[in-house]
Chain A
Amino acid sequence: MNTVLQNILAFSALSIALLFLFKTFVWWPKKKAKKACGETDCGCH
């Protein structure tokens, strides 16, 4: 395995890891809040 291929593989792994972490912790798809939070105002209605 030459140096170029090693670099490509390593930086591809880094890109996938960063993308995965971004998707997991930064980008959450917006979901509608469920209206089921009890008898007083919780602010979600």
Chain B
Amino acid sequence: MSKQINVALIGNPNTGKTSVFNALTGLNQKVGNYPGITVEKKQGVCKLPRGVKAHIIDLPGTYSLNASSLDESVVIELLLNKNDKDYPDVAVVVTDVENLKRNLLLYTQIKDLKIPTILVINMSDRMSYKGISLDIDYLETQLDTKIALISTRKGKGIEDLKSLIINYKTLSIESCIDIRNIDTNYFEGLEHVFPNQSLYKLWLVITQDVNFGKIDKNTINDATNFKTKSESDLKRLQQKETIKRYQFINNVLKKGQTIDLKSAKDIRIQLDRILTHKVWGYLIFLGILLLIFQAIYSWAETPMDFIDASFASLSEWLSTKLPDGVFTNLITEGIIPGLGGIVIFIPQIAFLFLFISILEESGYMSRVVFLMDKIMRRFGLSGKSVVPLISGTACAIPAIMATRNIESWKERLITILVTPFTTCAARLPVYLIIIALIIPEGTLLGIGYKPLTLLIMYLIGFAAAVGSAYLLNKIMKIRSKSYFVVEMPTYKLPLFKNVFITVVEKTKAFVFDAGKIILAISIVLWFLASYGPGDDFNNAEAIVTEQYASVNLTQDELDEKIASHKLEHSFIGITGKAIEPIIQPLGYDWKIGIGIVSSFAAREVFVGTLATIYSVGTDDEDTIKNRMAKETNPFIGGPLYNLASGISLLLFYAFAMQCMSTLAIVKRETNSWKWPILQLVTMSSIAYLIALIAYQVLK
């Protein structure tokens, strides 16, 4: 009578598991479903030497034993249930030589179930292309198993695998990691209550909603002398388990696997060698950023001028068509200029998102994350902080929410605190209008001064973020670091449809989200600028006419003086004048002060606010840019927006925490007002000081 052994083929998706199954079983296969569920069950028979028959079951692909789908639950159920007729005598974990690190996570979990486990490293024919070499003896010792290096494509190593299967009884069933190390007290308590059970199996029952033997989740929870943990605590321990496993895997692969990028022949590897190079990688990234900013300026200029002129004409046209009155003035002097202040930036923002989307679609963005990870580590942050910091270039709010996957609280807190320094899309309108006003035309090595200034502003934001992270890291002393795993996607040509949808969605979200706030603020500002208390406002016409009675002014000049007098004595003028002493040393007048205060709601409100303030009382057809360029400094004369005040304003917005929504998110994520208040005070103080120094040095 021949002997039969049960063999379970387990592995991550796309490791060639089914190819191994086919190579072992040939045509001796049958396909069915697991009882009660529509998960495919593939079984087959492999004839081994000495008359042994291997009953091979090809389990659904799974990344780990932390099940997130029905397919993955099937794997755990079978591996825990010794009474199942398919319970394996030996598990064969199939891995892909290119993704060994990720694939080994599952191997360590299967091994910890104390099932004899063979490690299959598939796709060995790709090793020379990828510059990979493996020390099999070392890996076998460290992983405490036997390894079959195979290539199902070339048909190599299958006989060695069969020989390992037949000798499965010689395999060690020692664990890779001791689960007790995750939380000693908790696991010792569990062991005390269930002394005869495997701790790792009990842990899987607790966390995965699966049963083994007579023990299920309720049995453990109801045990009177065992204190269960909350769901969030269990999740935390699961994360810790994964980190411990990757620490083990990293140590094993450090010596057991060598990747020599120089000998790699793959195009993707060749590209990666250049794009992630420690010098060329950064230079190429800087070059790409420069090209993007240059294109943004060159391509967006014409549509921007068109939008700016259209809004000015619309305002002028409506003022002649609509009947005179408060509401007409509100529309032509408040709402339209305010909205024009945001719509004008649609072309530049759309181009920015177009380039970002192309970089993401092509697979290059993952390389940027990898590059930035190297910098982050030098400043005490792990790679997991890279994703929030890079997404912060779009908006700090989702970026701060993305910090949730950082395990270490201190590291997460530091990332939350520094992310608002990165240049978000809301800063872009402020930067663009100020740069347009103060930076002259001209080029340096073929790159315009304006795009170069914009690039410098982005770099200042990033430097401020990593610099403050470094300081916070020194103050807060992070002990534990999160591990960061990024899978490099293959390079591919971006799909036009995907890029188009991203650009439309992101631009729409930016314009509509900011548009609603700007519309509301424009209305309020117009009222504050059109009404005022006391005689100075109400009798403005008489006061100004009398004041300039001896001067020969044209009617237009007199109207301008009256409008200016009224604005200065309106509610907004009084408020602006009250804060003027604080901002005057920075080179700003009270109107800029109002812009700064109102843009505390959102940075992009700044331009809309100024557009509204400069429009009140005027009925000439002029663009926002021209109106700003015409403003004169009330204290020292000359243009208000000159190099000194412009640079001061740019630096103020680079460092200031001008976003109420971000503060609200920080409060929500930290569940305390302490951190957003600290963030607001610190960032505003830094912004004020740097803007002050810049103005005083440059004036």
Contact = CB atoms under 8 A, between A and B. Distances in A.
Contacts of A20: 516, 520
A42 B413 contact: yes
Interface residues of A, number: 30
Given A17-B519, A21-B517, A39-B240, A9 B410 contact: no
Contact of B517 (A10, A24, A45): A24
Contact of B235 (A9, A36, A45): A36
B601 A21 contact: yes
B524 A42 contact: no
Contacts of B325: 1, 3, 6-7, 10
Interface stretch (B290-298, B401-409, B563-571): B401-409
Interface in B209-240: 230, 232, 235-236, 239-240
Interface string B321-338: 011011110100000000
B520 A17 contact: yes
Nearest to B522: A17
Most chain B CB inside 10 Å of its own CB: which residue of A13, A18, A44: A13
Contact of A37 (B328, B409, B516, B523): B409
Contacts of A10: 325-327, 330, 527
A44 to B, nearest CB: 4
B608 to A, nearest CB: 13
Contacts of B230: 35
B671 A33 contact: yes
Interface residues of B, number: 38
B601 A25 contact: yes
Contacts of A35: 230, 232
A14 B660 CA distance: 21
A21 B407 contact: no
B603 interface: no
B323 A42 contact: no
Interface string A17-45: 11011001100100101011111111111
Nearest to B479: A40
Contact of A40 (B235, B239, B409): B409
Given A6-B325, A25-B601, A38 B330 contact: no
Given A18-B524, A20-B516, A25-B601, A39 B327 contact: no
A38 B516 contact: no
Given A6-B326, A6-B327, A38 B406 contact: yes
Contacts of B406: 38
B600 to A, nearest CB: 9
A39 B326 contact: no
A14 B524 contact: yes
B410 A40 contact: yes
Nearest to A6: B325
A40 B408 CA distance: 7
A44 B410 CA distance: 13
B664 A9 contact: no
Contacts of B236: 38-39
Contact of A39 (B407, B520, B521, B664): B407
Interface in B530-546: none
A20 B480 CA distance: 44
B668 interface: yes
B335 to A, nearest CB: 8
A38 B524 contact: no
10 contacts: A10-B325, A10-B327, A14-B524, A25-B660, A38-B412, A39-B409, A40-B408, A42-B670, A42-B671, A44-B670
Interface of A: 1, 3, 5-7, 9-10, 13-14, 16-18, 20-21, 24-25, 28, 31, 33, 35-45
8 nearest CB pairs, A to B: A6-B325, A44-B671, A38-B409, A35-B232, A17-B520, A17-B523, A6-B327, A9-B327
